[in-house]
């Protein structure tokens, strides 16, 4: 990818390769909306160390507006994914996300229960706590059920805005939901439906449905449609630098938004190219 590969008037892009150097080549404030669904499991058994962050003058970590933070290390646990490795990987990419959002822009970070609490601390430091907009719970009901605890049937999407006093949000375009107690409202309201809250009930991608691409962690188009409708307008640029099966690009294209996707998994790239066809121009990062 060259520095001139992306331009405000250029084509939609599918960037092949490591997203961190690719993100560094994009200009400040280029995107109205960033949605990312990063990988969690590195596939290695290593020690996991609990960590917390607190404000401290002269701290080693620098956050939003130059604020200083110190990281406090806690107990070590054996775990599938090294906590330190994971955040050393993800945090610089979140810093790039803050830089790349325009002044009215919004970040949606999609995680599960394993890391979302740590992500909230990191994003509070990067964006400022006043920029936290929502914690969205995506609830679904499918798959195996634990017998020794409450089965985990939800993901969490953290929503942060670049400027809490001037961000874009258009709930008029968002799909509405049926009332759970329609007898308590007027027939007119029943016909219109209600606006969603921060709890989204939506099925996963059906294993036999027409949306299915074969990608293991594919997200439903309905989730991305709600995100894109609410936090961008037609013609706006949308970025997803953990593109996976390409759902963000597919929905953005259908809704008249422009997009940049980034992915380095060859299997995922093949799925995206098949799914999007000529809607995106592929860009290959040069090998170091």
Return the CATH number at 134: 3.40.50.150
For residue 190, what pLDDT is reported?
A: 93
Dihedral (Cα; 108, 241, 30, 275), 10-degree rounding: -100
For residue 70, what pLDDT is reported?
A: 55
Distance CA 208, CA 37 (A): 23
Helices (H), the chain: 19-24, 83-100, 116-127, 187-192, 221-231, 247-254, 266-276
Distance CA 122, CA 130 (A): 14
Whether residue 176 lies inside any domain: the answer is: yes
Nearest to 131 by CA among 198, 35, 65, 225: 65
**Structure tokens belonging to residue 169:** 């949000």
Give the number of other Cβ atoms within 10 Å of residue 144's Cβ: 7
Whether residue 6 lies inside any domain: the answer is: no
Contact 74, 51 (CB under 8 A): yes
Q: For the purposes of burial, counting CB atoms within 10 Å of the CB of 15, is it exposed (0-12), middle (13-18) or buried (19 or more)?
A: buried
Whether residue 239 lies inside any domain: the answer is: yes
Contact 12, 283 (CB under 8 A): no
For residue 287, what pLDDT is reported?
A: 57
Whether residue 201 lies inside any domain: the answer is: yes
End-to-end CA distance of the chain: 12
For residue 42, what pLDDT is reported?
A: 39
**Structure tokens belonging to residue 228:** 């894109």
For residue 212, what pLDDT is reported?
A: 87
Whether residue 47 lies inside any domain: the answer is: no
For residue 152, what pLDDT is reported?
A: 86
Domain count of the chain? 1
Distance CA 24, CA 8 (A): 16
Tokens 């997009």 appear where? 259
For residue 69, what pLDDT is reported?
A: 52
Phi, psi (rounded to 5 degrees) for 51 = -145, 150
Contact 33, 162 (CB under 8 A): no
For residue 148, what pLDDT is reported?
A: 92
For residue 184, what pLDDT is reported?
A: 93
Residues in the chain: 288
Distance CA 136, CA 94 (A): 18
For residue 208, what pLDDT is reported?
A: 77
Whether residue 48 lies inside any domain: the answer is: no
pLDDT tens digits in sequence order for the chain, 288 residues long: 554 489 999 999 999 999 999 999 999 999 999 999 997 543 444 333 444 444 445 555 444 455 555 544 443 323 334 445 788 889 999 999 999 999 999 999 999 888 899 899 999 999 999 999 999 999 998 777 888 999 889 999 999 999 999 999 999 999 999 998 999 999 999 999 999 999 999 888 887 788 888 888 889 999 999 999 999 999 999 999 999 999 999 999 999 999 999 999 999 999 999 999 999 999 987 655
For residue 281, what pLDDT is reported?
A: 96
Helices 266-276 and 247-254: crossing angle, nearest 10°? Answer: 20
Whether residue 125 lies inside any domain: the answer is: yes
Contact 272, 261 (CB under 8 A): yes
Q: Which residues contact 182 (CB under 8 A, 6 or more apart)?
A: 190
Distance CA 18, CA 263 (A): 7
Q: Which residues contact 172 (CB under 8 A, 6 or more apart)?
A: none
The DSSP secondary-structure symbol of 278 reads G
Residue 127 structural domain: 13-38+92-284
Contact 229, 170 (CB under 8 A): yes
Whether residue 135 lies inside any domain: the answer is: yes
Contact 251, 228 (CB under 8 A): yes
């Amino acid at each position: 990818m060259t520095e001139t590969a992306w331009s405000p008037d250029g084509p939609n892009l599918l960037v092949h390769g490591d997203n961190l150097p690719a993100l560094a080549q994009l200009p400040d404030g280029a995107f109205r909306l960033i949605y990312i669904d990063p990988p969690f499991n590195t596939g290695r058994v290593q020690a996991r160390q609990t960590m917390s962050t607190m404000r401290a003058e002269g701290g080693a970590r620098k956050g939003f507006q130059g604020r200083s933070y110190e990281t406090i290390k806690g107990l070590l646990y054996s775990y599938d994914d090294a906590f330190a490795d994971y955040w050393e990987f993800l945090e610089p990419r979140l810093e790039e996300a803050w830089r790349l959002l325009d002044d009215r822009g919004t970040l949606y970070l999609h995680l599960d229960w394993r890391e979302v609490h740590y992500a909230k601390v990191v994003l509070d430091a990067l964006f400022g706590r006043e920029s936290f907009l929502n914690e969205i719970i995506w609830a679904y009901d499918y798959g195996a059920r634990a017998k020794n605890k409450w089965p985990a049937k939800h993901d969490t999407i953290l929503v942060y805005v670049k400027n809490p006093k001037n961000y874009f949000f258009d709930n008029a375009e968002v799909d509405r939901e049926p009332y759970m107690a329609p007898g308590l409202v007027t027939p007119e309201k029943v016909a219109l439906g209600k606006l969603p809250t921060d709890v989204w009930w939506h099925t996963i991608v059906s294993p036999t449905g027409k949306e299915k691409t074969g990608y293991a962690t594919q997200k439903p188009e309905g989730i991305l449609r709600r995100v894109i409708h609410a936090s961008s307008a037609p013609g706006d640029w949308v970025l997803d630098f953990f593109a996976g099966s390409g759902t963000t690009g597919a929905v953005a294209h259908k809704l008249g938004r422009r997009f940049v996707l980034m992915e380095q998994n060859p299997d995922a790239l093949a799925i995206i190219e098949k799914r999007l066809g000529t809607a995106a121009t592929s860009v290959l990062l040069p090998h170091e």
